[in-house]
Amino acid sequence: MISFRRLSFLFIFVLIFVTLMSPQLKATNSLWSDEAAGTYEDRPNYEAGDIVTVVIEEDSNAVQSANTSTNQSSSVEAQAGTGLFDFLNAFGFGYSDQGSADGQTQRSGTLEADITTQVEEVMDNGNIRIIGTKKIKINGEEQVIKLSGVVRPKDINLDNEISSQKVADASIEYEGQGPVADKQEPGIFEKILNFFF
């Protein structure tokens, strides 16, 4: 028969063991995690007039090249005349020309910016049409960014942002006006030369 003293000792030992192991059991068997919490957060139902921020990260590169090569030759030979045409001497001549041309154009551009747009329309399939304009004026230089397109609400992250690469039918315009932009334009003399040549 187990004595009361041994039973008390065993009870205290089990109690200490359970107390020490309970944090580890909670950590390993918990169904909750901070990473999974974001998955189940409710996303807003967008309506016309709501705000969505688009992070523009666009790189474009285009290369066009053309090669042309031409070659042409011809020759004529005539023998001396006989009989009535014996006064004609033998003669011959030849002609040839060739030409080649190479051309290549390359254009690249990078645009990085953030623009806050408004929901213009909620479409029947749940996608939303967005449109926005951003104007920045510094020291007489005005820069204007315009963006429009269609996005899926599930592509918008929990910070209410979406990458421009996930915007369908995207139209992104970037324009600059001012003294610096004017200097990028060719002069009147250069325009006249380009017109004729």
Q: What is the pLDDT of residues 124-148, one digit of tens each?
A: 999 999 999 999 888 878 889 999 9
Q: How confident is the model at residue 17 (pLDDT cuts 50, 70, 90)?
A: confident
Looking at 26-30, 144-148, 177-181, which range is the least confident one? 26-30
Class of residue 167 by CB neighbours under 10 A (exposed 0-12, middle 13-18, buried 19+): buried
Alpha carbons within 13 A on the beta-carbon side of 134: 17
Grouping H, G, I as helix, E, B as strand and the rest as coil, residue 161 is strand
Residue in 116, 152, 141, 143 with CA at minimum distance from that of residue 131: 116
DSSP code per residue over 113-143:
EEEEEEEEEE-TTS-EEEEEEEEEEETTEEE
153 has a pLDDT exceeding 90: yes
The answer to whether 129 touches 147, Cβ cutoff 8 Å, is: no
Q: Is 128 exposed, middle or buried (0-12, 13-18, 19+ CB in 10 A)?
A: buried
Residue with tokens 């551009």: 109
Residues 64-77: what's their mean pLDDT? 73
Q: How many CA atoms lie within 13 A of 139 on its CB side?
A: 3
Model pLDDT, residue 196: 58
Q: What pTM was computed for the model?
A: 0.49
Q: How far apart are CA 136 and CA 132, in angstroms?
A: 14
